[in-house]
């Protein structure tokens, strides 16, 4: 009987030792790895996901942030300013840094100021937030986009009666694009007959405006559009009312439809913006700001822009002109779109020089 008791005591001692060892090991692993509670969380407030461009930006951003070990909370305002302000307040209580793509440059200023008062860093993404203490503005050089649109359009037409169908006036990028266009055409024979701002990026409205232009007394020699989705609505109007007349049309973003139209000869060109690089940098910078780390140097320009509150550090990336001759090199070789989505599954490449 005593032997049995000794054996049981020995077994119990071994089990207790093993249990303590396992608990110590688990405690060590827990201490050496970040817990979900300590993980960086980045908020992304976006005005709408109804545009192909923004869907792509967001996907790239989320993937990069996760690669860097951060969680992402996305809030889609559905093109509603009041909703975006409510969502920013929601993110303020749940995140370590916020990236915002504002619907209106000036209408989120108060919300951003409240966020900054709590010490949470804010990055304004692709559109400048006005009158607020943002930490960083990251964008493609929209003035250069406008310059490319105007200078390249001069290569596609000798006509001088141009029209601009841009995006909403509250989108500050449209202001910069206009400045770029006007800088190029200022001392040329070109006349910008009318600049139309498409309210809320409503493509039915841009279609209707193009119909109005086609029926006006001054027939258009060229149409510069705020983005490729606007350009698509313009091309649809031209195809319906003047299917046998070619009118040069351009946009920006290198959407799939725009690349297809370029191949088909319906769109003169688009402006490609290095969206992959922009979104990945934004994710990296948001994580670094959340950790209170210095921003790295890289292959981009940094300068300052005054947003009405102060001079804001700004990261500028350069756009690229894309037509039928360099589409493969710029759009496909970069991995932005694949060949089959542009040319169809039976064709792997187009015309290059």
Distance (Å, whole) CA 282 – CA 274: 12
pLDDT digits (tens, 9 = 90+) for 216-262: 999 999 999 999 999 999 999 999 999 999 999 999 999 999 999 99
Report pLDDT digits (tens) over 59-90: 999 999 999 999 999 999 999 999 999 999 99
E strands present in 121-166 = 122-125, 136-140, 161-166
Locate the domains of the chain by residue range. Answer: 36-140+275-317, 142-273+321-343
Return the bridge partners of 99, or none: 44, 123
β-bridge mates for residue 291, sequence order: none
Class of 36-140+275-317 in CATH: alpha beta
Write out the CATH class of domain 142-273+321-343: alpha beta
According to the model, what pLDDT value does residue 297 have? 78
Domains 36-140+275-317 and 142-273+321-343 are alike in CATH topology: yes
């Amino acid at each position: 009987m005593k032997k049995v008791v000794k054996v049981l005591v020995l077994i119990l001692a071994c089990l207790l030792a093993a249990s303590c060892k396992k608990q110590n090991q688990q405690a060590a692993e827990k201490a050496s790895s970040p817990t979900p509670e300590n993980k960086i969380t980045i908020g992304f407030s976006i005005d709408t996901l109804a545009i192909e461009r923004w869907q792509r930006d967001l996907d790239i951003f989320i993937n990069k942030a996760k690669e860097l070990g951060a969680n992402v909370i996305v809030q889609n305002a559905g093109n509603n300013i009041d909703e975006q302000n409510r969502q920013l307040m929601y993110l303020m209580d749940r995140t370590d840094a916020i990236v915002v793509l504002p619907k209106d440059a000036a209408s989120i200023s108060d919300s951003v100021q409240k966020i900054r008062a709590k010490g949470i860093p804010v990055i304004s993404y692709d559109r400048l937030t006005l009158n607020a203490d943002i930490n960083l503005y990251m964008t493609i050089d929209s003035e250069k986009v406008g310059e490319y649109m105007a200078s390249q359009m001069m290569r596609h037409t000798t006509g001088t009666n141009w029209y601009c169908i841009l995006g909403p006036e509250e989108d500050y990028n449209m202001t910069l694009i206009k400045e770029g266009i006007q800088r190029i055409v200022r001392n040329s024979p070109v006349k910008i007959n009318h600049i139309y701002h498409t309210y809320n990026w409503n493509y039915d409205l841009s279609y209707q405006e193009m119909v109005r232009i086609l029926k006006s007394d001054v027939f258009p020699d060229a149409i510069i559009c705020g983005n490729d989705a606007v350009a698509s609505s313009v091309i649809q109007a031209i195809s319906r009312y003047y299917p046998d007349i070619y009118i040069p049309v351009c946009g920006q973003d290198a959407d799939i439809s725009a690349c297809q139209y370029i191949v088909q000869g319906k769109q003169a060109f688009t402006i490609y913006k290095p969206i992959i690089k922009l979104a990945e940098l934004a994710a990296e910078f948001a994580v670094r700001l959340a950790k209170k780390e210095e921003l790295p140097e890289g292959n981009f320009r940094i300068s300052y822009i005054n947003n009405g509150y102060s001079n804001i550090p700004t990261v500028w990336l350069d756009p690229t002109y894309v037509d039928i001759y360099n589409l493969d090199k710029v759009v496909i070789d970069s991995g932005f779109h694949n060949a089959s989505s542009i040319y169809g599954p039976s064709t792997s490449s187009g015309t290059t020089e």
